[in-house]
């Protein structure tokens, strides 16, 4: 938790007066949003936030951060978000928190994307973390069956009570337990071509800076 807090606070130093800021989702992005809220309150920082989930929206509203939707802004200056895995060539898996679709839309409309992670997220190769895919409900069993036939070890994401997890957009998530992803680019293309797949959690060539919380402090590794 301390490492996550340290990177969240460090990332907030890149945010300047007047910026439109993308606010990520997850337990690491949480600390970034808290720090932005603190600066808005105590330092009168003037920013507009664009949130990536209902959770982050509620947090930002409670902190008094002025918000707009992505469609109400021309461009986002910097988005700060967490990640589930980052490989040595800075490709990532996101969506562990289920917000991959809006996170990718916000990232795509940002001039700069900063990922904040603790050192446990840095890996040699992607795939140990299950790769989330957001799918519309209708026909999702067939997508599941196709993914199974491909050997991708799919699993519908569920809540604690066993019911199907629903994203903010009321879609399902299928997690792929692949173990290893040797060619993320072609896998991403293959998945997005499946009708009914809304988005996948491979974030490829999308990050400008990676801040890693380590026992020796925060490292800027890209
Ligand atoms: C949510 C995400 C998160 O950024 C990702 O899961 C990392 O979360 P955390 O900082 O809690 O480990 O992609 O959809």
Using pLDDT thresholds of 50, 70 and 90, give the confidence band for residue 222.
confident
Please check whether residues 3 and 105 belong to one and the same domain.
yes
Q: Is 103 annotated in the active site?
A: yes
Catalytic entry in 10, 35, 103, 199: 103
Contact 82 CB / ligand 1 (< 6 Å): yes
Contact 96 CB / ligand 1 (< 6 Å): yes
Domain count, the chain: 2
81 is in an annotated binding site: yes
Please check whether residues 113 and 137 belong to one and the same domain.
no
What is the residue-wise DSSP string for 57-92?
HHHHHHHT--B--GGGSS-EEEEEE--SEE-TTS-E
- In the reported structure, the alpha carbon of residue 26 is separated from the centroid of ligand 1 by a whole-number distance in angstroms of 4
Which of these, 104, 106, 116, lies nearest to 20 by C-alpha position? 106
d(CA 207, CA 100): 14
- In the reported structure, the alpha carbon of residue 17 is separated from the centroid of ligand 1 by a whole-number distance in angstroms of 26
Say whether pLDDT at 1 is over 90. Answer: no
In a domain, 37, yes or no: yes
Question: What domain range is 146 assigned to?
Answer: 131-200
**Chain segment 43-95, per-residue pLDDT in tens:** 999 999 999 999 999 999 999 999 999 999 999 999 999 999 999 999 999 99
28 is in an annotated binding site: yes
Write the residue with the smallest CA distance to atom 10 of ligand 1. Answer: 28
Which of these, 40, 42, 48, lies nearest to 19 by C-alpha position? 48
Please check whether residues 188 and 211 belong to one and the same domain.
no
Residue with tokens 């990177």: 7
161 is in an annotated binding site: no
104 is in an annotated binding site: no
25 in Cβ contact with 99 (< 8 Å): yes
Please check whether residues 94 and 153 belong to one and the same domain.
no
Percent of the chain with pLDDT over 90: 99
Write the residue with the smallest CA distance to atom 6 of ligand 1. Answer: 96
d(CA 210, CA 7): 10
Which CATH number covers residue 187? 3.30.70.260
Which CATH number covers residue 35? 3.40.50.1360
- In the reported structure, the alpha carbon of residue 103 is separated from the centroid of ligand 1 by a whole-number distance in angstroms of 10
Please check whether residues 64 and 78 belong to one and the same domain.
yes
Kindly report the length of the chain.
222
Please check whether residues 70 and 178 belong to one and the same domain.
no
- In the reported structure, the alpha carbon of residue 209 is separated from the centroid of ligand 1 by a whole-number distance in angstroms of 16
Please check whether residues 53 and 140 belong to one and the same domain.
no
82 is in an annotated binding site: yes
Write the residue with the smallest CA distance to atom 4 of ligand 1. Answer: 82
In a domain, 220, yes or no: no
Contact 8 CB / ligand 1 (< 6 Å): no
Using pLDDT thresholds of 50, 70 and 90, give the confidence band for residue 115.
very high
- ipTM confidence: 0.98
d(CA 19, CA 53): 20
- In the reported structure, the alpha carbon of residue 94 is separated from the centroid of ligand 1 by a whole-number distance in angstroms of 6
Please check whether residues 65 and 92 belong to one and the same domain.
yes
Please check whether residues 60 and 83 belong to one and the same domain.
yes
> Which atom from ligand 1 is nearest to the alpha carbon of 27?
11
d(CA 94, CA 82): 8
Please check whether residues 101 and 56 belong to one and the same domain.
yes
**Chain segment 167-213, per-residue pLDDT in tens:** 999 999 999 999 999 999 999 999 999 999 999 999 999 999 999 99
Q: Is 197 helix (H, G, I), strand (E, B) or coil?
A: strand
Please check whether residues 107 and 190 belong to one and the same domain.
no
In a domain, 74, yes or no: yes
């Amino acid at each position: 938790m301390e490492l996550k807090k340290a990177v969240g606070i460090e990332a907030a130093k890149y945010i300047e007066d007047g910026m439109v800021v993308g606010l990520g989702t997850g337990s690491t992005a949480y600390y970034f949003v808290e720090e932005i809220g603190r600066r808005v309150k105590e330092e009168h920082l003037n920013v507009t936030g664009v949130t990536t989930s209902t959770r982050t929206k509620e947090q930002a509203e409670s902190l008094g951060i002025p918000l707009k939707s992505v469609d109400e802004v021309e461009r986002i200056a910097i988005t700060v978000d967490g990640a589930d895995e980052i490989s040595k060539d800075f490709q990532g898996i996101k969506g562990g928190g289920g917000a991959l679709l809006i996170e990718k839309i916000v990232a795509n409309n940002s001039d700069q994307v900063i990922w904040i992670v603790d050192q446990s997220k840095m890996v040699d190769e992607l795939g140990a973390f299950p790769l989330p895919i957001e799918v519309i409900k209708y026909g999702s069993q067939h997508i599941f069956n196709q993914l199974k036939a491909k050997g991708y070890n799919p699993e519908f994401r569920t809540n604690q009570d066993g019911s199907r997890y629903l994203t903010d957009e009321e879609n399902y998530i299928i997690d792929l337990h692949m173990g290893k992803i040797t060619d993320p680019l072609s896998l991403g293309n293959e998945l997005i071509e499946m009708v009914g797949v809304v988005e996948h959690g491979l974030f490829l060539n999308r990050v400008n800076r990676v801040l890693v919380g380590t026992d020796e402090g925060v490292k800027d590794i890209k």
